[in-house]
Structure 1
Amino acid sequence: MKKQQGFTLIELMIVVAIIGVLSAFAIPAYKSYVAKSEASTGVATLRALLTNYDMYLQENGEAPTDLTQIGSSSGASSSLGEIALTETSGATFTFQGSGALSGAVVTYTRSNAGWKCTSTIADDYKPKGCK
């Protein structure tokens, strides 16, 4: 008589249950990671424009009102949201889409002491330097 080899139904069900438990922890952690990385990317995109903003202000004596004035070839939008320049606040990044950051706004305000970051991003997702 041949000895049969393989997995029993109970063993397979236990494996499926273990995978379910692990994914119950992994999916929320992954979503949080994605939201944090999107927040950091949005802030970094905006932060990269601030040096050009300062240079334009020094050379022309007035704040830029259009992204093309400070050398942005990508225009006013990125894959995550919209960038806007204003005289009063400096620069803003508004997140779009259906993710955890949808509608959140990051604003860099210029003063004599430098740039200050404020945002409406939830505390769990705020990147360093913009708390």
Structure 2
Amino acid sequence: MEGSDLSTKKCIPCSSKDIHAMSRESAMELLPQVKNWELVTDNDVMKLQRSWKVKSFTKGLEFFQLIANVAEAEGHHPDLHLVGWNNVKIEIWTHSVGGLTENDFILASKIDSLDTEYLLRKKKIASS
């Protein structure tokens, strides 16, 4: 698995008999390939989670549409949250197995490769 580019892989169907939830150790090995994503456990379910600040409510919806296009193409759908007017949070896990699979890391990598800079709030740079 090392050295493989997750964004070039394709999600395998969740109905496949070959898909099983991975161990925490396996997830920790893949985590460095999806920078800025966190491994979280929610009700004993491991998930990938990441947050962004967008410029506006409508930019958040545009961001969701970009993600929806990738998710549909992969047949793998994350949980999308727009909290407040500009806080986007995404959680990814394979619902059918109740945990993480390589599909989740593939989707996270594909989301990371989207051109979203025009949607995101710029961090204010402190003047020296």
TM-score, normalised to structure 2's length? 0.29
Structure exhibiting the larger radius of gyration computed from Cα positions: 1
Q: Compare the two structures and name the one with the higher helix fraction.
A: 1
TM-score, normalised to structure 1's length? 0.29
Structure with higher RCO (Cα < 8 A, 6+ apart): 2
